[in-house]
Amino acid sequence: MNEIIHYIKEEALALMPALFVIGLLLKNSPKVPDWTIPWILLACGIAGGVFLLNSPLEGVLQGILVTGATVLTHQLAKQTYER
């Protein structure tokens, strides 16, 4: 996990809590299937990265990294504490 964080820019780290909250809201929505949540988060992460960094290529890359780090962190916490 620490290796991933080295590649994420400071500006993009602000997306992690936002993506986490969006994920929780989607998870609690009965109309959103679980399998679509990571895809929605990826789209939000990419859009947020492009918006924050004002660079399409760098924004897409940062959005993918931030979304991956957010989902990985959530899954690690979930698998560790919900045994």
Q: Which pTM value belongs to this model?
A: 0.87
Q: Where are the alpha helices (H) located in the chain, listed in sequence order?
A: 2-7, 10-13, 15-27, 37-53, 56-81
pLDDT digits over 39-81, tens only?
999 999 999 999 999 999 999 999 999 999 999 999 999 899 8
Give the start-to-end residue ranges of the domains of the chain: 2-81
Integer Cα distance of 74 and 34 in angstroms: 14
8 Å CB contact between 67 and 8: no
Q: With bands split at pLDDT 50, 70 and 90, how would you rate the model's confidence at 17?
A: very high
Overall size of the chain counted in residues = 83
Question: What pLDDT does 2 receive?
Answer: 62
Amino acid type, 61: L
Integer Cα distance of 49 and 57 in angstroms: 9
Question: What pLDDT does 24 receive?
Answer: 95
